[in-house]
């Protein structure tokens, strides 16, 4: 048993610990740090084992399969991240009809407009907290507009959303789920009563499959939660992660300044090297499973470490080196298999627009103090504050 609480500075930089674990083997029994204080689980850290586990349908996402209970599902409702086939297939098919590549691509002009407005307000100041002034409001505004969340509600929504994915305590975590469930239920009912509009949530309320199947009120609430939270929390940390990586690697930053065609590669390398999702959400063995030579009994819980897998030297040579020209194909930052992130195209689009505009208008961007407030827990990887100057 490996107790991750014993490693100092784990939240700030878990990669040396993951490297130590990979050297010992691809799968380990661990105790988690706060806020999951002392919780025991199996942790998968090898690339090949992680990729296979992500696609292994014997590892269920619905906790009820293995006799577990997840209070968030009872409060929020069912969504794709917590479901398995055939229910997962049904939900993904219903939402895919509304959340299309064409809808995402059509957002580019609006993403650029929001980006420009934020930079116009920020740049005259000469310094700012990049999270507060830019990286957070951009994807939050985009996803709230996409789903039709009223402007006055967005500040409160942000606080609740962050607490659900990076909880400061078990009590505040549960309280955030309760309040967010109530808010989303009211929002859906308001939209149902208001009549058809062109936002995504209204589209999901109306969407009907060929056989007449529709999302239930509980499923609508769950899907709204998944889209709202996953649709911006990860992108915040992707944008700040790229900036942190570039500032921390001046030679790579200089290369990008000299050739902005390297931007897409920079984003993909950041996703691999220090992506915004550290670990996939729990899976549960529906039957006995062997992962990398380790026997997992039926009913046991498994956590797949995307950050550790993407720094496996068996897959990526010199994995700790940040190299924006690296061939990153196959990285697991957005998952793999049937649960591959539906919002990946939107996250990439927002990061491309935001970072191109930021770096072109602030070519001398630099840290204005240490990053602060590393997100607690092992789900999200990022900071609450990133002071910069230009």
- DSSP string covering 342-373, please? TTHHHHHHHHHHHHHHHHHH-TT-EESS--EE
Q: Identify which of 353, 360, 365, 382 has the alpha carbon closest to the alpha carbon of residue 250.
A: 365
Q: Where are the alpha helices (DSSP H) in the chain?
A: 15-24, 47-55, 71-76, 87-96, 101-105, 108-122, 130, 137-147, 154-165, 170-194, 200-206, 217-230, 233-248, 250-258, 263-274, 306-309, 344-361
Q: State residue 197's pLDDT score.
A: 79
**pTM of the predicted model, to two decimals?**
0.92
390 residues of the chain, pLDDT tens digit each: 999 999 988 989 999 999 999 999 999 999 998 777 779 999 999 999 999 999 999 999 988 766 665 555 567 778 888 899 999 999 998 888 777 888 889 999 999 999 999 999 999 999 999 999 999 999 999 988 888 888 888 888 888 888 887 778 878 888 888 888 888 888 888 888 877 778 888 888 888 776 778 888 888 888 888 888 777 889 999 999 999 999 999 999 999 999 999 999 999 999 999 999 999 999 999 999 999 999 999 999 999 999 999 999 999 999 999 999 999 999 999 999 999 998 899 999 999 999 999 999 999 999 999 998 998 889 999 999 999 999
Distance CA 306, CA 333 (A): 6
Tell me whether the omega of the peptide bond preceding residue 189 falls within 30 degrees of 0, making it cis. no
What tokens appear for 324 in the block?
């924006």
Q: What is the DSSP letter of 60?
A: E
Q: Is 340 left (phi over 0), alpha (psi -120 to 50) or beta?
A: beta
Distance CA 16, CA 236 (A): 24
Q: Residue 295, Cβ neighbours under 10 Å: how many? A: 11
Distance CA 351, CA 96 (A): 22
Helix (H, G, I), strand (E, B) or coil at 330: coil
In order of their start, the domains of the chain are: 2-389 (1.10.630.10)
Distance CA 72, CA 272 (A): 29
Query: Residue for token digits 């689980």?
Result: 41
C-alpha dihedral, 355 to 357 to 360 to 361, nearest 10°:
-120
**Residue 155 contacts by C-beta under 8 Å, 6 or more apart in sequence?**
none
What tokens appear for 294 in the block?
């380790």
Q: State residue 252's pLDDT score.
A: 98
Distance CA 335, CA 56 (A): 12
Q: State residue 163's pLDDT score.
A: 85
β-strand pairing of 294-296 with 27-31: unpaired
Helix (H, G, I), strand (E, B) or coil at 134: helix
Per DSSP, the residues of 77-112 read ---GGG--TTHHHHHHHHHHTTS-HHHHHTTHHHHH
pLDDT digit string, tens, across residues 227-278? 887 778 899 999 999 999 999 999 999 999 999 999 999 999 999 999 999 9
**334 membership: H or E segment, kind and range:** none
What tokens appear for 83 in the block?
């479901």
Q: Do residues 382 and 240 make contact, with C-beta atoms less than 8 angstroms apart?
A: yes
């Amino acid at each position: 048993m490996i107790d991750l609480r014993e490693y100092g500075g784990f939240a700030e930089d878990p990669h040396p610990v993951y490297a130590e674990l990979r050297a010992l083997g691809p799968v380990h029994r661990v105790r988690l740090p706060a806020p999951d204080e002392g919780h025991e689980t199996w942790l998968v850290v090898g690339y090949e084992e992680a990729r296979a586990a992500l696609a292994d349908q014997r590892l269920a996402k619905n906790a009820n399969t293995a006799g577990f209970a997840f209070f968030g599902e009872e409060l929020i409702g069912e969504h794709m991240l917590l479901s398995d086939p055939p229910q997962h297939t049904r939900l993904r098919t219903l939402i895919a009809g509304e959340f299309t590549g064409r809808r995402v691509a059509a957002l580019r002009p609006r993403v650029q407009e929001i980006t420009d407005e934020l930079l116009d307000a920020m740049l005259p100041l000469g310094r700012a907290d990049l999270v507060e002034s830019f990286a957070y409001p951009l994807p939050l505004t985009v996803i709230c507009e996409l789903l039709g969340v009223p402007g006055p509600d967005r500040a409160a929504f942000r606080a609740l959303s962050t607490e659900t994915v990076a909880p400061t305590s078990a009590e505040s975590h549960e309280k955030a789920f309760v309040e967010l469930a109530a808010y989303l239920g009211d929002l859906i009912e308001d939209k149902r009563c208001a009549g058809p509009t062109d936002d995504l949530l209204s589209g999901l309320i109306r969407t009907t499959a060929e056989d007449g199947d529709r999302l239930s009120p509980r499923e609508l609430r769950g899907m709204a939660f998944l889209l709202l939270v996953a649709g911006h929390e990860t992108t915040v940390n992707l944008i700040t992660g790229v900036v942190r990586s570039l500032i921390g690697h001046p030679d790579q930053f200089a290369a990008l300044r000299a050739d902005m065609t390297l931007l897409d590669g920079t984003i993909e390398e950041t996703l691999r090297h220090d992506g915004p999702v550290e670990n996939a959400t729990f899976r549960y063995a529906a039957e006995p499973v062997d992962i990398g030579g380790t026997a997992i009994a039926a009913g046991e819980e498994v956590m797949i470490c995307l950050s550790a897998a993407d720094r496996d030297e068996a897959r990526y040579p010199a994995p700790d080196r940040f190299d924006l020209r690296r061939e990153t194909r196959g990285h697991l930052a957005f998952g793999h298999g049937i649960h591959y992130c539906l919002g990946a195209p939107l996250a990439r689009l927002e990061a491309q627009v935001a970072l191109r505009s930021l770096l072109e208008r602030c070519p001398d961007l630099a840290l204005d103090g240490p990053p602060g407030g590393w997100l607690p827990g092992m789900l999200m990887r990022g900071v609450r504050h990133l002071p910069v100057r230009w």
